[in-house]
Amino acid sequence: MLNFRNMNILFIVLLVLSISADIKYGIAGYAYIILLLTYSALLFYGCYYIGSNYFIPVICSAKTNKKVIAISFDDGPHAANTPQILQMLKDSNAKAAFFCIGSRINENASILKQAHDEGHIIGNHTFSHHFWFDMFSSKKMLSDMEMMNEATINIIGKTPKLFRPPYGVTNPNLKKAIINGNYIPVGWSVRSMDTVIKNEEKLLNKVIGKVKPGAVFLFHDTSKSTVAMLPAFIKYVESNGYEIIRLDKMLNLQAYA
Protein backbone atom coordinates (compact mmCIF):
# COMPACT_ATOMS: atom_id res chain seq x y z
CA MET A 1 0.00 0.00 0.00
CA LEU A 2 1.34 3.42 -0.99
CA ASN A 3 1.68 5.65 2.06
CA PHE A 4 4.15 8.17 3.45
CA ARG A 5 6.20 5.66 5.43
CA ASN A 6 6.43 3.07 2.65
CA MET A 7 7.27 5.72 0.07
CA ASN A 8 10.11 7.11 2.18
CA ILE A 9 11.58 3.64 2.62
CA LEU A 10 11.29 2.95 -1.10
CA PHE A 11 12.93 6.22 -2.14
CA ILE A 12 15.73 5.87 0.39
CA VAL A 13 16.48 2.45 -1.09
CA LEU A 14 16.32 3.88 -4.62
CA LEU A 15 18.59 6.76 -3.64
CA VAL A 16 21.17 4.42 -2.09
CA LEU A 17 21.07 2.21 -5.17
CA SER A 18 21.44 5.24 -7.43
CA ILE A 19 24.44 6.54 -5.48
CA SER A 20 26.04 3.08 -5.54
CA ALA A 21 25.47 2.79 -9.28
CA ASP A 22 26.83 6.31 -9.78
CA ILE A 23 30.02 5.50 -7.87
CA LYS A 24 30.52 2.19 -9.64
CA TYR A 25 29.36 2.93 -13.18
CA GLY A 26 28.53 6.61 -13.35
CA ILE A 27 24.96 7.70 -14.07
CA ALA A 28 23.57 10.89 -15.57
CA GLY A 29 22.73 13.68 -13.14
CA TYR A 30 19.17 13.88 -14.44
CA ALA A 31 18.47 10.48 -12.83
CA TYR A 32 18.54 12.20 -9.44
CA ILE A 33 16.28 14.95 -10.75
CA ILE A 34 13.77 12.37 -11.99
CA LEU A 35 13.87 10.66 -8.61
CA LEU A 36 13.26 13.96 -6.81
CA LEU A 37 10.43 14.98 -9.13
CA THR A 38 8.74 11.59 -8.75
CA TYR A 39 8.99 11.82 -4.96
CA SER A 40 7.59 15.36 -5.01
CA ALA A 41 4.68 14.36 -7.28
CA LEU A 42 3.70 11.47 -5.00
CA LEU A 43 3.98 13.73 -1.96
CA PHE A 44 1.72 16.31 -3.59
CA TYR A 45 -0.79 13.58 -4.47
CA GLY A 46 -0.79 12.30 -0.90
CA CYS A 47 -1.33 15.76 0.56
CA TYR A 48 -4.09 16.96 -1.74
CA TYR A 49 -6.09 13.79 -2.49
CA ILE A 50 -7.91 13.06 0.73
CA GLY A 51 -8.88 9.56 -0.36
CA SER A 52 -5.27 8.47 -0.80
CA ASN A 53 -4.89 7.49 2.90
CA TYR A 54 -1.31 8.60 2.41
CA PHE A 55 -0.56 10.01 5.85
CA ILE A 56 -3.54 8.70 7.81
CA PRO A 57 -6.57 6.57 6.94
CA VAL A 58 -9.51 8.84 6.07
CA ILE A 59 -13.03 7.43 5.73
CA CYS A 60 -14.49 8.63 2.43
CA SER A 61 -17.33 6.23 1.62
CA ALA A 62 -19.16 3.14 2.80
CA LYS A 63 -18.68 -0.33 1.38
CA THR A 64 -22.25 -1.37 0.79
CA ASN A 65 -24.63 -2.63 -1.87
CA LYS A 66 -27.57 -0.85 -0.29
CA LYS A 67 -28.89 2.16 -2.16
CA VAL A 68 -27.88 4.70 0.45
CA ILE A 69 -25.81 7.87 0.26
CA ALA A 70 -24.74 10.58 2.71
CA ILE A 71 -24.55 14.30 2.08
CA SER A 72 -22.35 16.78 3.91
CA PHE A 73 -21.92 20.53 3.94
CA ASP A 74 -18.69 22.39 4.73
CA ASP A 75 -17.84 25.95 5.79
CA GLY A 76 -21.06 26.96 7.55
CA PRO A 77 -23.06 27.98 9.38
CA HIS A 78 -24.14 30.54 6.79
CA ALA A 79 -26.75 33.08 7.87
CA ALA A 80 -28.72 33.05 4.60
CA ASN A 81 -28.08 29.65 3.02
CA THR A 82 -27.97 27.18 5.91
CA PRO A 83 -31.57 27.82 7.07
CA GLN A 84 -32.78 27.23 3.51
CA ILE A 85 -30.85 23.98 3.32
CA LEU A 86 -32.24 22.87 6.68
CA GLN A 87 -35.77 23.48 5.45
CA MET A 88 -35.15 21.46 2.26
CA LEU A 89 -33.75 18.59 4.31
CA LYS A 90 -36.70 18.75 6.69
CA ASP A 91 -39.17 18.68 3.80
CA SER A 92 -37.46 15.53 2.49
CA ASN A 93 -36.92 13.93 5.90
CA ALA A 94 -33.20 13.70 5.07
CA LYS A 95 -30.33 14.04 7.52
CA ALA A 96 -26.93 15.54 6.75
CA ALA A 97 -23.56 16.31 8.29
CA PHE A 98 -22.46 19.92 8.71
CA PHE A 99 -18.69 20.37 9.07
CA CYS A 100 -18.63 23.84 10.55
CA ILE A 101 -16.03 26.56 10.91
CA GLY A 102 -15.82 27.53 14.56
CA SER A 103 -15.35 31.25 13.97
CA ARG A 104 -18.76 31.35 12.28
CA ILE A 105 -20.64 29.64 15.09
CA ASN A 106 -21.25 32.40 17.63
CA GLU A 107 -22.89 34.77 15.16
CA ASN A 108 -25.01 31.88 13.85
CA ALA A 109 -25.61 30.05 17.11
CA SER A 110 -29.35 29.60 16.57
CA ILE A 111 -28.72 28.02 13.15
CA LEU A 112 -26.20 25.57 14.57
CA LYS A 113 -28.61 24.64 17.35
CA GLN A 114 -31.41 24.20 14.83
CA ALA A 115 -29.29 21.86 12.72
CA HIS A 116 -28.47 19.78 15.78
CA ASP A 117 -32.03 19.79 17.13
CA GLU A 118 -33.36 18.62 13.77
CA GLY A 119 -31.13 15.56 13.85
CA HIS A 120 -28.14 16.56 11.75
CA ILE A 121 -24.56 16.03 12.90
CA ILE A 122 -22.08 18.79 13.56
CA GLY A 123 -18.52 18.02 12.53
CA ASN A 124 -15.25 19.86 13.13
CA HIS A 125 -13.84 21.85 10.20
CA THR A 126 -11.39 23.84 12.38
CA PHE A 127 -12.02 27.19 14.04
CA SER A 128 -10.14 29.43 11.61
CA HIS A 129 -10.14 27.48 8.31
CA HIS A 130 -6.97 29.46 7.73
CA PHE A 131 -5.56 29.46 4.19
CA TRP A 132 -2.22 28.26 5.59
CA PHE A 133 -3.72 25.81 8.08
CA ASP A 134 -1.81 22.91 6.52
CA MET A 135 1.44 24.79 7.28
CA PHE A 136 0.68 25.04 11.00
CA SER A 137 2.56 22.99 13.58
CA SER A 138 0.62 20.01 14.92
CA LYS A 139 0.21 21.81 18.25
CA LYS A 140 -1.28 24.88 16.58
CA MET A 141 -3.53 22.70 14.42
CA LEU A 142 -4.87 20.88 17.46
CA SER A 143 -5.45 24.14 19.30
CA ASP A 144 -7.45 25.44 16.34
CA MET A 145 -9.51 22.24 16.21
CA GLU A 146 -10.17 22.34 19.95
CA MET A 147 -11.37 25.95 19.71
CA MET A 148 -13.99 24.82 17.22
CA ASN A 149 -15.09 22.08 19.63
CA GLU A 150 -15.42 24.60 22.47
CA ALA A 151 -17.61 26.85 20.34
CA THR A 152 -19.84 23.88 19.49
CA ILE A 153 -20.06 22.66 23.09
CA ASN A 154 -21.26 26.10 24.16
CA ILE A 155 -24.24 25.80 21.79
CA ILE A 156 -25.25 22.13 21.67
CA GLY A 157 -23.43 20.67 24.66
CA LYS A 158 -21.66 18.01 22.58
CA THR A 159 -18.06 17.56 21.47
CA PRO A 160 -17.61 16.83 17.74
CA LYS A 161 -15.48 13.77 17.05
CA LEU A 162 -15.66 13.77 13.25
CA PHE A 163 -13.09 16.01 11.59
CA ARG A 164 -12.73 17.18 8.00
CA PRO A 165 -9.48 18.96 7.04
CA PRO A 166 -9.69 22.38 5.38
CA TYR A 167 -9.35 21.98 1.61
CA GLY A 168 -8.99 18.22 2.17
CA VAL A 169 -5.25 18.61 2.74
CA THR A 170 -3.46 16.13 5.00
CA ASN A 171 0.16 15.91 6.14
CA PRO A 172 2.26 14.47 9.00
CA ASN A 173 1.48 17.41 11.31
CA LEU A 174 -2.24 16.99 10.81
CA LYS A 175 -1.95 13.25 11.39
CA LYS A 176 -0.37 13.96 14.77
CA ALA A 177 -3.06 16.53 15.66
CA ILE A 178 -5.86 14.13 14.69
CA ILE A 179 -4.40 11.32 16.77
CA ASN A 180 -3.65 13.53 19.78
CA GLY A 181 -7.15 15.01 19.65
CA ASN A 182 -8.78 11.59 19.22
CA TYR A 183 -10.67 12.70 16.12
CA ILE A 184 -12.03 10.55 13.30
CA PRO A 185 -10.99 12.00 9.91
CA VAL A 186 -13.80 11.97 7.36
CA GLY A 187 -13.52 12.88 3.69
CA TRP A 188 -15.79 12.37 0.71
CA SER A 189 -16.07 10.26 -2.41
CA VAL A 190 -17.83 12.92 -4.51
CA ARG A 191 -16.52 16.47 -4.55
CA SER A 192 -19.27 18.60 -6.05
CA MET A 193 -17.00 21.56 -6.87
CA ASP A 194 -19.90 23.82 -5.93
CA THR A 195 -17.48 26.56 -4.91
CA VAL A 196 -16.44 26.77 -8.57
CA ILE A 197 -19.57 25.73 -10.50
CA LYS A 198 -22.00 28.62 -10.27
CA ASN A 199 -24.61 27.25 -12.67
CA GLU A 200 -27.11 25.06 -10.83
CA GLU A 201 -27.88 22.87 -13.87
CA LYS A 202 -24.20 22.12 -14.48
CA LEU A 203 -23.75 21.36 -10.80
CA LEU A 204 -26.75 19.03 -10.78
CA ASN A 205 -25.57 17.18 -13.88
CA LYS A 206 -22.16 16.71 -12.32
CA VAL A 207 -23.35 15.20 -9.06
CA ILE A 208 -26.23 12.99 -10.20
CA GLY A 209 -23.80 11.00 -12.33
CA LYS A 210 -21.88 10.13 -9.16
CA VAL A 211 -24.78 8.66 -7.22
CA LYS A 212 -23.90 5.11 -6.15
CA PRO A 213 -24.23 2.98 -3.00
CA GLY A 214 -22.19 4.30 -0.09
CA ALA A 215 -21.19 7.60 -1.69
CA VAL A 216 -20.41 10.62 0.49
CA PHE A 217 -21.16 13.96 -1.20
CA LEU A 218 -19.31 17.16 -0.37
CA PHE A 219 -21.31 20.37 -0.72
CA HIS A 220 -20.88 23.83 0.84
CA ASP A 221 -23.68 25.73 2.54
CA THR A 222 -21.86 28.89 1.45
CA SER A 223 -22.70 28.09 -2.18
CA LYS A 224 -25.81 29.63 -3.78
CA SER A 225 -25.70 27.10 -6.61
CA THR A 226 -25.97 24.28 -4.07
CA VAL A 227 -28.99 25.91 -2.46
CA ALA A 228 -30.60 26.26 -5.89
CA MET A 229 -29.98 22.71 -7.09
CA LEU A 230 -30.43 20.76 -3.83
CA PRO A 231 -34.19 20.07 -4.19
CA ALA A 232 -33.64 18.61 -7.67
CA PHE A 233 -30.72 16.52 -6.42
CA ILE A 234 -32.76 15.10 -3.54
CA LYS A 235 -35.65 14.38 -5.89
CA TYR A 236 -33.32 12.56 -8.32
CA VAL A 237 -31.81 10.49 -5.53
CA GLU A 238 -35.17 9.44 -4.14
CA SER A 239 -36.73 8.75 -7.54
CA ASN A 240 -33.89 6.34 -8.24
CA GLY A 241 -34.59 4.33 -5.13
CA TYR A 242 -31.84 5.79 -2.94
CA GLU A 243 -32.12 6.92 0.65
CA ILE A 244 -30.16 9.80 2.15
CA ILE A 245 -29.04 8.75 5.61
CA ARG A 246 -26.91 10.47 8.20
CA LEU A 247 -23.21 10.17 7.54
CA ASP A 248 -22.29 8.68 10.91
CA LYS A 249 -24.94 5.99 10.55
CA MET A 250 -23.89 5.04 7.03
CA LEU A 251 -20.22 4.92 7.97
CA ASN A 252 -20.91 3.38 11.40
CA LEU A 253 -19.03 6.13 13.26
CA GLN A 254 -19.38 7.83 16.62
CA ALA A 255 -20.27 11.44 15.88
CA TYR A 256 -19.53 12.89 19.32
CA ALA A 257 -16.96 12.21 22.03
Domain boundaries, the chain: 4-48, 68-251
Q: What is the mean pLDDT of residues 35-41?
A: 91
Terminal C-alpha separation, the chain: 30
Label residue 15 by pLDDT band (50, 70, 90).
confident
Q: Look over the chain and give the mean of its residue pLDDT values, rounded to a whole number.
A: 95
pLDDT at 7: 85
Q: What is the mean pLDDT of residues 25-44?
A: 87
Q: What angle do CA 93, 98, 103 make, to 5 degrees?
A: 145
As a whole number of Å, the CA-based R_g of the chain is 21
Which tens digit of pLDDT belongs to each residue from 158-168?
999 999 999 99
pLDDT at residue 1 tops 80: no
Which tens digit of pLDDT belongs to each residue from 47-96?
889 999 999 999 999 999 999 999 999 999 999 999 999 999 999 999 99
Q: Is it true that the peptide bond before 77 is cis, omega within 30 degrees of 0?
A: yes
pLDDT at 188: 98
**DSSP codes of every residue in the chain:** ---HHHHHHHHHHHHHHHHHHHHHT---THHHHHHHHHHHHHHHHHHH-GGG-SSS--B-----SSSEEEEEEES---TTHHHHHHHHHHHHT---EEEE-GGGTGGGHHHHHHHHHTT-EEEE--SS--TTGGGS-HHHHHHHHHHHHHHHHHHHS--B-EE--GGG---HHHHHHHHHHT-EEB--SEE--TTT---HHHHHHHHHTT--TT-EEEEETT-HHHHHHHHHHHHHHHHTT-EE--HHHHHT---B-
pLDDT at 11: 83
Which has the higher per-residue pLDDT, 220 or 7?
220
pLDDT at 28: 78
pLDDT at 134: 94
Which has the higher per-residue pLDDT, 23 or 202?
202
Architecture of domain 68-251: Alpha-Beta Barrel (3.20)
Label residue 118 by pLDDT band (50, 70, 90).
very high
Which tens digit of pLDDT belongs to each residue from 123-172?
999 999 999 999 999 999 999 999 999 999 999 999 999 999 999 999 99
pLDDT at residue 102 tops 80: yes
- Round to whole Å and give the CA distance between 144 and 3: 26
Which tens digit of pLDDT belongs to each residue from 179-235?
999 999 999 999 999 999 999 999 999 999 999 999 999 999 999 999 999 999 999
Q: What is the mean pLDDT of residues 7-20?
A: 87
pLDDT at 123: 98
- Round to whole Å and give the CA distance between 161 and 139: 18
How many of the other CB atoms lie within 10 Å of CB of 257?
A: 13
pLDDT at 8: 86
pLDDT at 221: 96
Which tens digit of pLDDT belongs to each residue from 219-237?
999 999 999 999 999 999 9
